[in-house]
Chain A
Amino acid sequence: MTTLLKAHELRHSFGATPALDGVSLEVRRHEILAVVGESGSGKTTLLNVLAGRMNADQGTVHYHDGANLRSLSELGERELHRLQRARWGFVEQNPRAALRLNITAGGNIGERLMAAGDRHYGNIRAIATHWLEQVEIDPKRLDDLPMNFSGGMLQRLQIARMLVTEPELVFMDEPTGGLDASVQARVLDLIRSLVRRLGLAVVLVTHDIGVARLLADRLIVMRQGLIVESGLTDQVLDDPHHAYTQLLVSSVLPA
């Protein structure tokens, strides 16, 4: 299995507080890697560094460009931007942060295509329609403004907007964090089936162990900027070794 992303000894601190204290990991093609941990454990910082949204104080992130592993820090800003806009995707917890609410659903989905140089209005609409269907939004909503969409629909629209360039690696930050339980199930199911169908690799940050169990192949447990435990998702959750993981698992209310 190809390694898509490889982080080595990442260190970063905010003032005196270490957010990453020597984190190394690999993400392979077609796998879903969940990062769990409490607030302040460094998981969001890790996600931002992996996605090239911020630079760590120390350490390296390499990505696979199809032929070789290349360091993100060697990329020019333009190349990094292109990577982030085409071959990678990012799903924010709050879809309002990623979407343009005063632009139609079709315009939102089409933006990455237009940025990549698609100049055919009819094409863009056809592709946008396709992706609306993929995320189970009625194609009749193509010309509607997202400000009239429900929370779950907004999150699905954000996913469609991100998937339109058919990325190979997607970063997700609590993708169902702001949703009602019933809506959450639907979005999770959607992510799960899209990921399988499209063969995506995903780095998923969540504090919800249930989400991690449902979606992830592998799991990383973080605490105070360190990976305290990692392995197969069900193995880590069913046979946790580290004291913190045991606490985390035992703190979940049974459904």
Chain B
Amino acid sequence: MKKGTVIALLAAVILLAFIPLFLLKDAEFGGSDDAGSAVVEEVDSQYEAWASPILETILGGELPGEVESMLFCVQTGIGVGIVAFFMGRFVERKKQGKGE
């Protein structure tokens, strides 16, 4: 893939991800699953959620926001680590002229 194409595609990704943030200044940007739960109430008003997340049951309350973001970062980190490790090996291998 040409260098220009890669840069253009990356720019498109960044714009797509961040434009809504600047365009909709009043929006809360809550999760769409919370919005989903609100619709459940709307179309099935009798329904009561009959289980709560296991971690919240153990903790006896909601997972603190900071800890939640830490755990999400752990998830991202595990993924990035694996992808970057193998990608690094592939790139290095090619540089040394082995494996095409």
Q: Do A and B come from one complex?
A: no
Q: A-contacting residues of B (Cβ < 8 Å)? A: none
Q: B-contacting residues of A (Cβ < 8 Å)? A: none
